[in-house]
Amino acid sequence: MRILLVEDNLRLSTFVRRGLENEDFIVDGVGTLCDAEAAIETAPYDAVVLDLGLPDGDGLDLLKNLRAAGNSVPVLVLTARDDVDDRVRGLNAGADDYMLKPFAVEELTARLRALLRRPDGALGLSLTAGNITFDTTAREVRVGNQRIKISRREMGVLEQLMRRAGRVVPKDILESKLYGFDEDVSSNSLEANISRLRKRLIQVNASVSIHTLRGVGYLLSDGNDG
Amino acid sequence: MKRRNLIIFYALASLLIIFALATSWEFGLELGGWLPSDLVHQNESTASHWVHVAINTAFAALALAIMSLLTRRLLHELADKEATLQRAEGERRNFSADTAHELRTPLAVLRAHLDSLGDSETTRQLSQDVDHVTRILEQMLVKSRIEAIAVKPDEQADLSQIAIEMAAYLAPLVIKEGRSIEVLGADQPLMVNGNRFALEQALRNLVENAIKYSARGSTITIDVMGAVNGNGPCMRVIDHGRGVPPEDRELIFERFHRADQRGSGSGLGLFIVRRVAESHGGHVMVGDAPGGGAMFTVQFPRSG
């Protein structure tokens, strides 16, 4: 997994790089727009981590040029500015995700993995959370090494929750992913599926838990969080 | 323009006007004398009178020109001064925002360095300290931004949407801290005259406050309500912690007041909530939650 890290602060770049390398990413670090452009032309990157305030210009220009040239490499933007306008500008320019400084390196790697896990991303189609792995092509769920059997609907719920592990999945989005337009969704059927899935996960000693947040949605968290 | 020059110019213009008036007056007298009887000198005097009129008009016009020129310059200067004042005010406001931005990168360095040191009790503690400083920084930034917010009459915000999105945004933190969160009454859009960013920040601070002062295993409730019984719409955050004693219910909204001195907050949170409520023509209050705990209510005006 080869990542281009564009960050002009040498110390920040060093530590972030160390963090990513510990997670088995291969990292090339550059400190200017000019070097970043050259790097992107010469090597195929799976993702780019891009700081916006660079000594020779705005990182957003690089991003715009990339997108204009039809390059769809996932880009995660790092910035010290948190104005809503800046965020919107960044996402409009084609950023895939956005992180405000300072950030936990652990979260950066988690978000990078999420980007790489997208349908055309480099990480393939295996999802992990706690001790669960979900092979989305073979439709197989494992807890540890043990393959477990769950219904198609429960699997669908689990997949959506694992794709956004640690974040809220709104109820209506979950429903729209799981049921066809003309299918009759009785109001409790999603809850019923979730509660069956929850019981099943406890049964097989999965280290994750599914939280129901009334009026908000559902969240799958690493079990230690209670 | 210097004050002395200004006075001289005005005096000059005034003299010109007085001169013009005086000669017109003289002309008027002559005219008065001429009209009824003295028809013999009619042609002669009419000619000289018209010269008078011409000269007077020229003087008056000159005076008017000078006056309007001066007035224009004065107005210009006034506008300049106002712009300078506004710039200074803007700079003052931007200063804390810029400072906060400037501090983000060194903090990011610190945080990334700590993360690279691996897990130990010391690094965990230090990471928490960095998070704390970061939160204070964010609060400063929010404070300087909400101070600049004036809610426009046509600005609309959906309380339901704000409640659901803020709950979803904060849910990972809430769960990490061993609490849960729910949103009630947000099935339908609930529009108020308000600024979305400011309202989000107010709600965020109320929920963060609730996390801090509620018990592990309890649920934090966000409740939004439309106008009922002559009251405007409102937004509530209910926790099941130890509540706020009556004698503190005004104090806690003051800047840098903290219910305890554990030092885990910035002391700006509830101050921001109050500032936001007031900038929306409403107010914030705290009472007892049914079943124990605190209930914070941000009340909007009826027309909103």
Closest by CA position to B289, among listed B252, B246, B243:
B243
Q: Which of A206-215, B114-123, B228-237 has the lowest mean pLDDT?
A: B114-123
| Last residue in a domain, options A116, A139, A163 | A116
Q: In chain A, positions 10-29, which contact chain B (CB-CB < 8 Å)?
A: 11-12, 15-16, 18-19, 22
Q: Shortest CB distance from B175 goes to which of A12, A101, A211?
A: A211
Q: Shortest CB distance from B171 goes to which of A82, A104, A216?
A: A216
- Per-residue confidence (pLDDT) for residue B282, from 0 to 100: 94
Contact call for residues B138 and B100 (beta carbons, < 8 A): yes
Contact call for residues A30 and A56 (beta carbons, < 8 A): no
- DSSP conformation letters of B235-274: EEEE--BS---GGGTTGGGSTT--SS-S--S-S-HHHHHH
Same domain, yes or no, for A100 and A65? yes
Same domain, yes or no, for A11 and A110? yes
Provide the residue range defining the domain that includes A79: 2-116
**CATH code: domain of residue A103:** 3.40.50.2300
Same domain, yes or no, for A68 and A109? yes
Q: A70: distance to nearest CA of chain B, Å?
A: 31
Same domain, yes or no, for A53 and A72? yes
Q: Which residues of A touch B175 (CB under 8 A)?
A: 211, 219, 221, 225-226
In angstroms, the CA B57 to CA B51 distance is 10
What average pLDDT score do residues A165-180 get? 84
Same domain, yes or no, for A36 and A106? yes
> Which residue in A has a C-alpha nearest to residue B180's C-alpha?
A213
Q: Which of A48-57, A174-183, B81-90, B200-209 has the lowest mean pLDDT?
A: A174-183
Q: Chain B interface, mutation test: which of A10, A85, A216, most B Cβ atoms within 10 Å? A: A216
Same domain, yes or no, for A186 and A141? yes
| Last residue in a domain, options A95, A116, A137 | A116
Q: Which residue has 């028809």 as its token pair? A: B39
Higher pLDDT, A81 or A2: A2
Q: Chain A interface, mutation test: which of B175, B200, B219, most A Cβ atoms within 10 Å? A: B175
- Per-residue confidence (pLDDT) for residue B87, from 0 to 100: 84
- DSSP conformation letters of chain A: -EEEEE-S-HHHHHHHHHHHHHTT-EEEEE-SHHHHHHHHHHS--SEEEEESEETTEEHHHHHHHHHHTT----EEEEES---HHHHHHHHHTT-SEEEESS--HHHHHHHHHHHHTSTTSTTTTEEEETTEEEETTTTEEEETTEEE---HHHHHHHHHHHHTTTSEE-HHHHHHHHS-TTS---TTHHHHHHHHHHHHHHHTT-SEEEEEETTTEEEEEEGGG-
In angstroms, the CA B89 to CA B190 distance is 35
The number of folded domains in chain A is 2
Q: Is the Cβ of B86 closer than 8 Å to some Cβ of chain A? A: no
Query: What does the mean pLDDT of chain A come to?
Result: 86
C-alpha Rg value of chain A to the nearest Å: 20
**CATH code: domain of residue A151:** 1.10.10.10
Q: Is B170 helix (H, G, I), strand (E, B) or coil?
A: helix
Q: B171: distance to nearest CA of chain A, Å?
A: 7
In angstroms, the CA B79 to CA A170 distance is 52
Q: Shortest CB distance from A9 goes to which of B109, B116, B167?
A: B109
* A108 belongs to a structural domain: yes
Q: What is the pLDDT of residues B116-158, one digit of tens each?
A: 887 788 888 898 889 888 888 888 888 888 887 788 889 999 9
Q: Is the Cβ of A170 closer than 8 Å to some Cβ of chain B? A: yes
Same domain, yes or no, for A55 and A142? no
Same domain, yes or no, for A144 and A112? no
- Per-residue confidence (pLDDT) for residue A49, from 0 to 100: 95
Closest by CA position to B46, among listed A215, B54, B221, A137:
B54
Same domain, yes or no, for A108 and A131? no
pLDDT band at B304 (very low <50, low <70, confident <90, very high): very low
pLDDT band at A94 (very low <50, low <70, confident <90, very high): confident
Please tell me whether the interface predicted TM-score (ipTM) of this complex is above 0.85. Answer: no
| Last residue in a domain, options A69, A87, A116 | A116
Is this structure's pTM higher than 0.80?
Answer: no
* A121 belongs to a structural domain: no
* A62 belongs to a structural domain: yes
* A28 belongs to a structural domain: yes
- Per-residue confidence (pLDDT) for residue B7, from 0 to 100: 74
Q: What is the pLDDT of residues B246-297, one digit of tens each?
A: 988 888 888 776 665 555 667 788 999 999 999 999 999 999 998 889 999 9
Cβ contact B172–A221 (<8 Å): yes
Same domain, yes or no, for A174 and A94? no
User: Which domains are assigned to chain B?
Assistant: 1-148 (no CATH), 156-299 (3.30.565.10)
The backbone region for B217, taken as left when phi is positive above 0, alpha when psi lies in -120 to 50, beta otherwise, is left
* A99 belongs to a structural domain: yes
- Per-residue confidence (pLDDT) for residue B58, from 0 to 100: 85
